[in-house]
Amino acid sequence: MGCALSNSIRNDPESLADALFDAIAAARVPKGTLKVPVRPHARRLPSGRRGITRKMLRAIRRFYCARGALGMLMGDLIKKEGFEWSVCALTRSTGLSLIESLALTAEARGEVVDALIGLATTFFSYSWDGTKLGDMLDAIERRLAELEASDGVTRYVWIDIFAASQTLLAGEFDAGRYPRGSEEHTARKEDTDHVFADAMAAIGELLLYCSPLTAEWPAPNQPFLLPERGAPPAGWLRRGPGAMTRAWCMFELVKALAKGATLHVVLAPADVDGFEELLTDDFDEIAGIAQGKLDEAGVLLREALEAKRATIGDRHPDTLVSMNNLALLLLDQGKLDEAGVLLRETLEARRATLGDRHPRTLTSINNLGTLLQDQGKLDEAGVLYREALEARRATLGDRHPDTLVSINNLGVLLKDQGKLDESGVLYREALEARRVTLGDRHPDTLGSINNLGRLLHDQGRLGEAETLLLEAHDGCAATLSEGHRTWLRSQAWLADVRRAQGRIESARALVDARVLSTARAALGPTVDTTLLLEAVHARLECAAGGGLSPLKASLERMRTVLGPEHPETRRCAVALSQEEEAASSHSVGTS
């Protein structure tokens, strides 16, 4: 097939997907070499953020169905010896993931693949053991069809087998064309060390594939999660569901729920009727269990870090990934001082080994800035945020997703410093770019709408603020779960605007006891969003004549959990001061 595609293919995304697979198959190694543009990693969407739509999933099904591989297990599909259509065989000459290879093949042909490949919205968590390709594709297709029919939102699913470079992970990259260590290889190599963290940061929902439910398979040679159980017996068997007994799946579940992502349980067609509903209907309980496993996840991450320090050293890239992951977990748990020690060590090592402008160094700069901001060290955080933003503008451009994160972070910091006009400039830049690149209802766009709305509230522009916050609220209601962090914050801020407008009952309907219960179950009782909702609820009760005691209790809880300098703590203190002044004025006026 030549470089030019017919108009019928250009106008049909699934035909385009088939044509791209045909091009990759025709150039498969060992005798062929796939010719794709040499595009530096910093100039393309990170592989951890590459998601694929149902149209692309159907193309994958057609490709492997024609080659009799739908019954193949995931591990075999990646690199089975003698299988010339394995993921590794198709991409061995590029060192890239299958999806990245398809995206760059399309770029070489001048094709647009937005209907097939885009910024990941959904993480697919599953166990390779016992999972067949055809069953997995059937389950994903069925669940996505239900979700997209209900809300009209197209999903881009991140699946490791297709979105992460299997040739690099399996050590099968053919370095003949791009020799390891060469400038070309370094420029284009996918960041396999960071790919899972990138994916988890990008998504707003998780598909947990709980199949097989009743099958047995040999358990991996790993210790039990709880050390007191001792070592497992040799040759012991596990019985499904696979994902629920796999440590990585449980960690992915915990991370997704901790950030407020929506959980969807996915089963293979042959599994037990009603089991999916049993799990999804009891979301609060699942979320609570996952939240309770943060300490256990911390045990695993500490063990991994200790082992890597001992075997490959403190500054090896894999050690630094483990260090960063443990620090982020500690940050989620509110253990800021302990997280700070690890984040500083990670950043120092990455500056020394990777340089100041490497993507992973910039991620560490951003992470440490977030910690310092939570500790109330705003000037120190600002220095780091500005460094990260300047470097990302220079290396990635003004509209790259990572650049927009830095623009937003600096905007939040400036707002916390009271520099509202400067903050507004950045908020508007981030929102405009996200509307254009992600659409009006992507979780990141909704977050930017929320931020600008809250800023307008603080500037006293309540009508403009309500318009934006209502847009964010309606967008969250249409696309996110009730337990999603962005939706919960939109409810808190919209309620606070309506309180300021004197519309107390309308505000109380947004932040009631049920919403508080949802936040505590989905995010945990000590997360800043939950405490924000409690403070807004307490102020509304005060406005309705309930007295100052609930707001005082809320402020004390924030001081204890978040610290006295946390932005939400300081905001709550201002709110209490305003209510006390209002109460005093009322008392004087009626005496």
Count of beta carbons in the 10 Å neighbourhood of residue 379 = 9
For residue range 497-552, list pLDDT tens digits in order: 999 999 999 999 999 988 998 888 777 787 788 899 999 999 999 888 888 898 99
444 contacts 404 by C-beta, under 8 angstroms: yes
**Are 163 and 99 spatial neighbours (Cβ–Cβ below 8 Å)?**
yes
Kindly state the average pLDDT of the residues 100-117. 85
Which one is predicted more confidently, 531 or 235? Answer: 531
Is the four-CA dihedral 555, 558, 559, 560 of positive or negative sign?
positive
User: Which residue, 465, 493, 405, is CA-closest to 46?
Assistant: 405
Contact 494, 536 (CB under 8 A): no
pLDDT confidence of 331, banded at 50, 70, 90? confident
CA distance 96 to 76: 18
Mean pLDDT of 335-343: 91
122: nearest Cα among 158, 150, 153, 146? 158
Question: How is residue 384 written in tokens?
Answer: 């780091």
Confidence of residue 162 (pLDDT cuts 50, 70, 90): very high
Of 531, 144, 512, 469, which Cα lies nearest the Cα of 477? 469
Q: In this structure, what DSSP letter does residue 484 have?
A: -
| pLDDT at residue 237 greater than cutoff 70 | no
At residue 218 the predicted structure's pLDDT band, cuts being 50, 70 and 90, is low
Cβ 262 vs Cβ 206: under 8 Å:
yes
Distance CA 38, CA 220 (A): 39
Phi, psi of 412, rounded to the nearest 5 degrees: -60, -45
Please tell me the predicted confidence (pLDDT) of residue 282: 37
pLDDT at 178 over 70: no
User: Does pLDDT of 285 surpass 50?
Assistant: no
Q: Which residues of 51-73 are buried (b: 16+ CB within 10 A; e: fewer)?
A: bbbbbbbbbbbebbeeeebbebe
Distance between CA atoms of residues 573 and 567, nearest Å? 10
Residue with tokens 């707002």: 415
pLDDT at 274 (0 to 100): 42
Measured from the Cβ of residue 174, the count of other Cβ atoms closer than 10 Å reads: 16
Residues of the chain with pLDDT > 90, as a percent, come to 30
Q: What number of other Cβ atoms are within 10 A of residue 329's Cβ? A: 23
pLDDT at position 532 is: 92
- Region for 559 from its dihedrals, namely left if φ exceeds 0, alpha if ψ lies in -120 to 50, beta otherwise: alpha
Report residue 228 as tokens.
Answer: 């007191």
Q: How confident is the model at residue 460 (pLDDT cuts 50, 70, 90)?
A: very high
What is the distance between the alpha carbons of residues 371 and 339, in angstroms, rounded to a whole number?
8
Check whether 289 has a pLDDT greater than 50: no
Contact present, 36 and 43 (Cβ < 8 Å): no
CA distance 490 to 482: 11
Length of the chain equals 591
Convert the pLDDT of each residue in 462-509 to its tens digit: 999 999 999 999 888 877 767 778 888 899 999 999 999 999 999 999
Q: What pLDDT score does 59 carry?
A: 92
Q: What is the pLDDT of residue 580?
A: 87
DSSP assignments along 109-135, one per residue: TT---TTTEEE--EEEE--STT-BHHH
Q: Is 508 helix (H, G, I), strand (E, B) or coil?
A: helix
**Alpha-carbon distances of 565 from 74, 93, 200, 372, 569, rounded to whole Å:** 49, 53, 29, 10, 7
Q: ∠ at Cα 251 (246, 254), nearest 5°?
A: 125
- 43 pLDDT more than 80: no
Instruction: Grade residue 288 by pLDDT with cuts at 50, 70 and 90.
Output: very low
Poorest-confidence range of 40-54, 220-234, 318-332, 367-381?
A: 220-234
Rounded CA separation 163/155 (Å): 15
Radius of gyration (C-alpha) of the chain in whole angstroms: 25
Pairing of strands 122-125, 205-209: parallel
The predicted pLDDT at position 478 comes to: 78
Most confident of 24-38, 107-121, 373-387: 373-387
Q: Which residue has the higher pLDDT, 581 or 295?
A: 581
Range 426-434 contact pairs with CB under 8 angstroms and sequence separation of 24 or more: 427/451, 427/452, 427/455, 428/452, 429/398, 430/404, 433/398, 433/399, 433/404, 433/407, 434/404
**Which of 39-48, 128-137, 304-313, 389-398 shows the lowest mean pLDDT across its residues?**
39-48
Mean of the per-residue pLDDT values for the chain? Answer: 80
